[in-house]
Amino acid sequence: MTDLQNDRLLRALAREPVDRAPVWLMRQAGRYLPEYRRVREQAGSFMNLCRNADMACEVTLQPLERFPLDAAILFSDILTIPEAMDLGLYFEPGEGPKFQKTVRTEADVRDLPVPDADTDLDYVVNAVSTIRSALGGRVPLIGFAGSPWTLATYMVEGGSSRDFRQLKTMIYATPERAHELLDKLARAVTDYLNAQIRAGAQVVQIFDTWGGALSDAAYREFSLRYLERIVAGLIREHEGRHVPVILFTKNGGLWLNDIAASGCDAVGLDWTMNMGEGRRQVGGRVALQGNMDPAVLHAPAEVIRAEVQRIRRDYGDHPGHVFNLGHGVTPEVDPDSVAVFVDEVCRGGD
Ligand code: CP3
């Protein structure tokens, strides 16, 4: 297939040689961009923005107009799945996402519907195809979903949480109930990502934002097991091309080897692990993505540039590095600092 003008990301994910490491940023579309805030205001609410394919497409493309990025990421949210499970998602200003209903009892879990992506989440599938055609092959489009564990934290706690007390109680006190919930979520995520791939997503990433809050044994049993199951169920070949899968467990450095053995193509690393150490552990088995601390974007330009150079030196002269932050860009970041970060990656060299 030759419809992609810039296939640096796909090549790096396949551990093939590239002229320089590709770069994109988690949360590259969002509130740090004034042009995003304008469209968001027009939409009235975040979910209205996600539900309107033209607006979702517009904000997906905004960071590409500003910076020479090597990928677009679908504008949506990981919480679309619990929203489609009728839990009543809403956003309380300053407090983050919340759900009207929580999932705690045996009956809550049993009665939870598994959404059908093509019907219940058709607005996301439409956004993917709209964005894919608007991109016109400039760069690949990344689709995404949350991991079952991370989605479960929001659904069981009813929103963001510091200690995940309710869900952790469930995994230790009634593990079979937790497994039933995670199994439903794994089926929903697999179906959702496959619908995105059929609609035109050329790469998919699974965000396991809260996997790092688990003990070693619990991570393997309640998060990694379901990530493996999803990877095994995904469409891996579409439009004559391999569809790479990136797994990102924040604070997951401890399990890098096991995540790399899950069948994924790449592992996202936050900033707590050195890229060179990560590369030594995985060798050429998977690509690595990351890992600059997003807080570096609050520092002067020369500090940002030095940090990019350090990460490049740490990773070394191997194929398979995708530059990114170790977590999403925060709303307070100055877009000019993102420009410096991307520019320094694009300069390449040692
Ligand atoms: O990366 C991208 O540019 C694509 C868009 C994207 C969003 N959310 C847009 C968004 C992605 C990939 C996500 C994933 C997501 N959402 C995660 C996993 C990644 C991570 O950062 O850990 C999580 C945990 C969520 C849940 C969620 N949705 C939170 C915590 C928030 C912020 C709430 C707040 O008020 O601060 C959201 C809403 C959200 N998702 C916004 C954006 C741009 C901001 C909402 C707005 O514009 O009002």
Distance in angstroms (rounded) separating the CA atoms of residues 32 and 335: 7
Query: Would the CA dihedral through 343, 57, 95, 145 be positive or negative?
Result: negative
Q: Where are the domains of the chain?
A: 8-347
With 70 as the cut, is the pLDDT of residue 160 above it?
yes
Spell out where 48-185 has E strands. Answer: 72-73, 89-92, 96-99, 141-146
Distance in angstroms (rounded) separating the CA atoms of residues 100 and 166: 16
With 70 as the cut, is the pLDDT of residue 1 above it?
no
Distance in angstroms (rounded) separating the CA atoms of residues 87 and 72: 29
| Percent of the chain scoring above 90 in pLDDT | 97
Spot the catalytic one: 40, 104, 132, 279. Answer: 40
Spot the catalytic one: 7, 8, 15, 77. Answer: 77
Spot the catalytic one: 20, 27, 37, 198. Answer: 27
Residue 180's identity, in one-letter code, is E
Name the residue at shortest CA distance from atom 30 of ligand 1: 96
Distance 52 CA to ligand 1 centre (A): 17
Residue 312 token pair: 């490049």
- Tell which residue, 288, 344, 312, 348, has the closest CA to residue 12: 288
For residue 95, the model assigns a pLDDT of: 86
- Mean pLDDT, range 258-271, rounded to an integer: 98
- Average pLDDT, rounded, for the chain: 97
With 80 as the cut, is the pLDDT of residue 2 above it?
no
Beta bridge partners of 310: none
Beta bridge partners of 323: 23, 290
pLDDT single digits (tens) 230-257: 999 999 999 999 999 999 999 999 999 9
Distance 105 CA to ligand 1 centre (A): 27
Domain 8-347 bears CATH identifier 3.20.20.210? yes
Give residue ranges with CB within 6 A of ligand 1.
26-31, 40, 46, 73, 75, 77-79, 91, 96-97, 144, 146, 207, 209, 328
Atom index in ligand 1 nearest the CA of residue 63 equals: 3
Distance in angstroms (rounded) separating the CA atoms of residues 61 and 123: 18
- Tell which residue, 331, 343, 340, has the closest CA to residue 33: 331
Distance 317 CA to ligand 1 centre (A): 33
Peptide bond into 291 cis (omega under 30): yes
Please answer whether residues 316 and 276 qualify as being in contact, where contact means their C-beta atoms are separated by less than 8 angstroms. Answer: yes
Name the residue at shortest CA distance from atom 42 of ligand 1: 30
Pairing of strands 89-92, 96-99: antiparallel
- Tell which residue, 174, 153, 187, has the closest CA to residue 106: 174
For residue 350, the model assigns a pLDDT of: 59
Atom index in ligand 1 nearest the CA of residue 36 equals: 47
Q: Which one of 75, 77, 208, 333 would you pick to mutate in the ligand 1 pocket, going by the greatest count of ligand atoms within 8 A of its CB?
A: 77
- Cα 325 to Cα 126, 220, 317: the distances in Å are 28, 25, 19
- Mean pLDDT, range 136-142, rounded to an integer: 98
With 90 as the cut, is the pLDDT of residue 349 above it?
no
Please answer whether residues 177 and 170 qualify as being in contact, where contact means their C-beta atoms are separated by less than 8 angstroms. Answer: yes
Distance in angstroms (rounded) separating the CA atoms of residues 286 and 264: 7
Distance 8 CA to ligand 1 centre (A): 26
Other Cβ atoms within 10 Å of 257 Cβ, number: 12
Atom index in ligand 1 nearest the CA of residue 40 equals: 47
For residue 329, the model assigns a pLDDT of: 98
pLDDT single digits (tens) 49-104: 999 999 999 999 999 999 999 999 999 999 999 999 999 999 988 889 999 999 99
> 225-246 burial, b if ≥16 CB within 10 A, otherwise e?
bbbbbbbeebeeebeebebbbb
* First vs last C-alpha separation in the chain: 32
Distance 119 CA to ligand 1 centre (A): 23
CA angle 192, 72, 28 (to 5 degrees): 100
Distance in angstroms (rounded) separating the CA atoms of residues 167 and 169: 5
Query: Would the CA dihedral through 156, 223, 311, 265 be positive or negative?
Result: negative
The model carries a pTM of 0.97
Distance 346 CA to ligand 1 centre (A): 26
Please answer whether residues 203 and 145 qualify as being in contact, where contact means their C-beta atoms are separated by less than 8 angstroms. Answer: no
